[in-house]
């Protein structure tokens, strides 16, 4: 049998799905997190097993956005290759009952066996609401089970109710077709049903209202947001440094150990120059990635992220985007792929396309290793004010450049190809919550694992291929290995295109495998320098030191500017193709991003040379 979880966005459907099936779907404290259907399995006490489906949140079956469309199709049995669910599990937010009861009426009227999970009763209690599930159940005509998904409360009762609903399934006939009910009528009904279900209500929401009046204030809100972002980028450098240094030292020691134990030759060189230098140079950025995500996860779980979207709404409106685009764009700071997928919650097709096209300009975490290694190499570790490090400031600036670039592009797109009026902001604000340590740790672990898995797969493979291309054919006496190698020949062929913007040959070479993933640029530089180094001691040096010794400041800055814009990630292009159903827009995206990267890198280089850096 099949059961589907549905309800308004941010009701806790995915949290419930995870609790019931043991899955680890992403949950976060803002609407629009789930944009696809996800299936899992639960066992009933009767021994039957149920296929449970987690669906994107929905406000209505009269849908316009692509994610709500998925929910409607699955529930109506129109989803290709999928039978209609036998039981619906309607998830309601107990603390926002009235809003959630609007869609609930549509669901219950379908006449399918339905069980209500009255979720977040803990928050309702915190807000001073006392609920009466029995009264709610008789008002709605379906069983109601109070739950707290994140604390696994009410799960067994819910399972029992699902089991019972299945058995009821057989004797439910087809519901009478209903006359069309208007939204105001539904709202009125929702209000009445909520009144029946709520026994008493006290006003303890005051603290949160006061917090909102500060954080959402048109003048105070934006500086708070920027200050917070600023602190994050300072922390990425300041806190990570000891850990990153320790990892660097570890890699150096490992390389020394391999050099001392293995006989000279192919295997030893592959290990030290390819794997330890190449892959190791990326892994040392794990602490920075973890710190960045710790902040992001904190902002997501407390409910601040949705406020940030609200604060940004005015700014976004100025460039013709809606606040709806904020969450997809924000997800793109982790990676443009989930970011582009999250645009499914944007109903307006032009709004959505614009957001897809600018998502790659948000600084994804794959750029962090590139930025961090170059900044650590060429920007001095000085402070420019009390507690403000220059390195963190430069990093912050690069992130801001990406955002400013994205806004500028959005403005241009919205007044040309994706012309149209910006739609208003319709996201509801989630409640403030204290983050749960366990969720935070799981989230961090998942992020770290994604990063390490990339290091072990794409980056590993690209590095080995590159090392082979760099090592063969062997150089004659007096000739440099880089020039003699296949890789050297390839980069020499494309070098003329990059001479005008100040790139050296190693940089040009790094751009080729970096198409697979941006971090590979770092691995590529490290491997190139390791192969190119004179002796073992130099091979073991950290990439940062090699760059510091070899690159001029204008060259290094040009490289940073390139990576702010360059679309170097095949997977992003592939996702853009899938989400826009064709090659037209991904090609537009590639062309404009490469164009911008080239222009900005060149401008940076020449301005830096001109002012004598």
Ligand X SMILES: Nc1nc2c(ncn2[C@@H]2O[C@H](COP(=O)(O)OP(=O)(O)OP(=O)(O)O)[C@@H](O)[C@H]2O)c(=O)[nH]1
Spatial separation of the C-alpha atoms in residues 399 and 368, rounded to whole Å: 10
CB-wise, 19 or 482, nearer to ligand X? 19
CB-wise, 29 or 491, nearer to ligand X? 29
CB 247 to Mg ion: min, Å: 35
> First CA to last CA across the chain, in angstroms?
69
CB 475 to ligand X: min, Å: 57
CB 57 to Mg ion: min, Å: 6
- Choose which of 6, 20, 21, 34 interacts with ligand X (CB under 6 A): 34
- Choose which of 21, 96, 114, 119 interacts with ligand X (CB under 6 A): 119
CB 114 to Mg ion: min, Å: 19
User: DSSP character for 344?
Assistant: G
CB-wise, 12 or 274, nearer to ligand X? 12
Task: With contacts defined by CB under 6 A, name the span among 31-39, 97-105, 263-271, 361-369 that binds ligand X.
Answer: 31-39
CB 431 to Mg ion: min, Å: 16
Contact present, 67 and 10 (Cβ < 8 Å)? no
Which of 447, 426, 403 is closest to 298 using CA atoms? Answer: 447
Contacts (CB under 5 A) with Mg ion, residues 18-57 = 33-34
Spatial separation of the C-alpha atoms in residues 523 and 279, rounded to whole Å: 6
- Choose which of 69, 106, 122, 166 interacts with ligand X (CB under 6 A): 122
- Choose which of 116, 150, 368, 516 interacts with ligand X (CB under 6 A): 150
HSE, side-chain direction, 13 A CA sphere, residue 534: 2
Tokens of 274: 């390819």
123 binds, among Mg ion, ligand X, none (CB under 5 to 8 A by kind): ligand X
Contact present, 118 and 133 (Cβ < 8 Å)? yes
* Cα separations in angstroms, 228 against 42, 432, 568: 41, 17, 28
Is 56 a binding residue for ligand X by CB under 6 A? The answer is: yes
- Choose which of 3, 12, 365, 427 interacts with ligand X (CB under 6 A): 12
Task: With contacts defined by CB under 6 A, name the span among 12-20, 156-164, 327-335, 380-388 that binds ligand X.
Answer: 12-20
Task: With contacts defined by CB under 6 A, name the span among 9-17, 336-344, 459-467, 531-539 that binds ligand X.
Answer: 9-17
Size of the site for ligand X (CB under 6 A): 25
Contacts (CB under 6 A) with ligand X, residues 263-322 = 301
Residue nearest to ligand X (CB): 57
Handedness of CA 225, 226, 227, 231 (dihedral sign): positive
Tokens of 603: 């401008």
CB-wise, 397 or 433, nearer to ligand X? 433
Contacts (CB under 6 A) with ligand X, residues 424-443 = 433
Task: With contacts defined by CB under 6 A, name the span among 145-153, 211-219, 244-252, 507-515 that binds ligand X.
Answer: 145-153
CB 25 to Mg ion: min, Å: 6
Spatial separation of the C-alpha atoms in residues 396 and 398, rounded to whole Å: 5
Is 10 a binding residue for ligand X by CB under 6 A? The answer is: yes
CB 271 to ligand X: min, Å: 44
Task: With contacts defined by CB under 6 A, name the span among 27-35, 218-226, 305-313, 538-546 that binds ligand X.
Answer: 27-35
Phi, psi of 173 (to 5 degrees): -85, -170
Spatial separation of the C-alpha atoms in residues 38 and 301, rounded to whole Å: 21
Contact present, 158 and 174 (Cβ < 8 Å)? no
Is 148 a binding residue for ligand X by CB under 6 A? The answer is: yes
Burial class (CB in 10 A: 0-12, 13-18, 19+), 457: exposed
Binding string to ligand X for residues 485 to 524, with x set by CB under 6 A, is what?
Answer: ----------------------------------------
Instruction: Identify the H or E element spanning 201.
Output: strand 198-201
Is 21 a binding residue for ligand X by CB under 6 A? The answer is: no
**DSSP secondary structure, 359-399, as one string:** GGGS--TTHHHHHHHHHHHHS---EEETTEEHHHHHHHHHH
Strand partners of residue 38: 54
Is 14 a binding residue for Mg ion by CB under 5 A? The answer is: yes
The Cβ of residue 163 has, within 10 Å, a number of other Cβ atoms equal to: 17
Is 127 a binding residue for ligand X by CB under 6 A? The answer is: no
CB 7 to ligand X: min, Å: 6
Is 13 a binding residue for ligand X by CB under 6 A? The answer is: yes
| Strand extents, DSSP E, 2-79 | 2-7, 38-43, 49-54
Spatial separation of the C-alpha atoms in residues 553 and 535, rounded to whole Å: 26
Contacts with Mg ion by CB under 5 A lie at 13-14, 33-34
Contacts with ligand X by CB under 6 A lie at 9-15, 27-29, 31-34, 56-57, 119-120, 122-123, 148-150, 301, 433
């Amino acid at each position: 049998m099949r059961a589907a979880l549905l309800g308004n966005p941010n009701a806790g459907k995915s949290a419930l799905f995870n609790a019931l099936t043991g899955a680890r779907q992403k949950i976060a404290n803002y609407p629009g997190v789930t944009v696809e259907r996800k299936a899992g399995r639960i066992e009933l006490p009767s021994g039957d097993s149920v296929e449970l489906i987690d669906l994107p949140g929905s406000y209505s079956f009269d849908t316009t956005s692509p994610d709500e469309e998925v929910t409607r199709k699955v529930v109506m049995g129109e989803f290709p290759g999928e039978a209609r669910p036998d039981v619906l599990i309607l998830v309601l937010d107990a603390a926002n009952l009235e809003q959630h009861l609007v869609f609930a009426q549509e669901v219950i009227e379908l006449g399918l066996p339905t069980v209500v999970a009255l979720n977040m009763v803990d928050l309702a209690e915190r807000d001073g609401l006392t609920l009466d599930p029995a009264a709610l159940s008789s008002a709605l005509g379906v069983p109601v089970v109070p739950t707290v998904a994140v604390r696994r409360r009410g799960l067994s009762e819910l399972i029992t109710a699902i089991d019972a609903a299945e058995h009821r399934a057989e004797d439910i006939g087809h519901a009478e077709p209903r006359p069309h009910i208007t939204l105001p009528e539904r709202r009125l009904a929702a209000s009445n049903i909520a009144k029946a279900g709520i026994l008493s209500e006290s006003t303890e929401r005051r603290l949160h209202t006061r917090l909102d009046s500060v954080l959402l204030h048109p003048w105070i809100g934006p500086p708070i947001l920027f200050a917070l972002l600023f602190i994050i980028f300072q922390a990425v450098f300041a806190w990570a440094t000891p850990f990153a240094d320790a990892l660097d030292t570890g890699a150096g020691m490992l390389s020394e150990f391999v050099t001392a134990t293995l006989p000279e030759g192919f295997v030893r060189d592959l290990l030290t120059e390819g794997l330890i230098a190449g892959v190791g140079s990326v892994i040392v950025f794990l602490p920075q990635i973890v710190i960045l995500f710790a902040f992001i996860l904190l902002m997501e779980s407390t409910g601040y992220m949705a406020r940030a979207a609200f604060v940004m709404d005015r700014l976004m409106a100025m460039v013709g985007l809606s606040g709806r685009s904020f969450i997809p764009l924000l997800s793109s700071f982790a990676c443009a792929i989930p970011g582009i997928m999250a645009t499914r919650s944007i109903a307006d097709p032009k709004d959505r396309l614009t957001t897809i096209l600018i998502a790659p300009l948000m600084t994804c975490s794959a750029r962090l290793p590139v930025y961090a290694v170059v900044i650590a190499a060429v920007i001095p570790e000085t402070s420019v004010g009390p507690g403000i490090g220059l390195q963190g400031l430069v990093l912050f600036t690069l992130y801001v450049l990406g955002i400013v670039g994205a806004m500028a592009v959005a403005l241009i797109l919205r007044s040309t190809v994706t012309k149209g009026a910006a739609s208003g902001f319709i996201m509801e604000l989630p409640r403030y919550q204290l983050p749960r340590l366990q969720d935070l740790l799981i989230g961090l672990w998942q992020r770290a694992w994604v990063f390490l898995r990339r290091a072990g797969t794409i980056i590993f493979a690209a590095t080995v291929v590159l090392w082979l291309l760099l090592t063969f054919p062997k150089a004659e006496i007096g000739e440099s290995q880089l020039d003699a190698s296949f890789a050297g020949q390839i980069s020499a062929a494309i070098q003329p295109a990059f001479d005008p913007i100040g790139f050296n040959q190693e940089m040009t070479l790094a751009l080729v495998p970096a198409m697979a993933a941006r971090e590979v640029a770092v691995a590529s530089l490290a491997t190139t320098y390791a192969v190119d180094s004179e002796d073992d001691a130099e091979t073991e040096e950290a990439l940062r030191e090699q760059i510091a010794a070899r690159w001029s400041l204008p060259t290094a800055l040009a490289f940073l500017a390139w990576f702010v814009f360059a679309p170097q990630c095949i997977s992003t292009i592939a996702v853009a193709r899938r989400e826009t159903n064709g090659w037209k827009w991904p090609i537009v995206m590639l062309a404009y991003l490469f164009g911008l990267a080239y222009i900005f890198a060149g401008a940076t280089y020449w301005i830096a040379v001109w002012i004598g850096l």
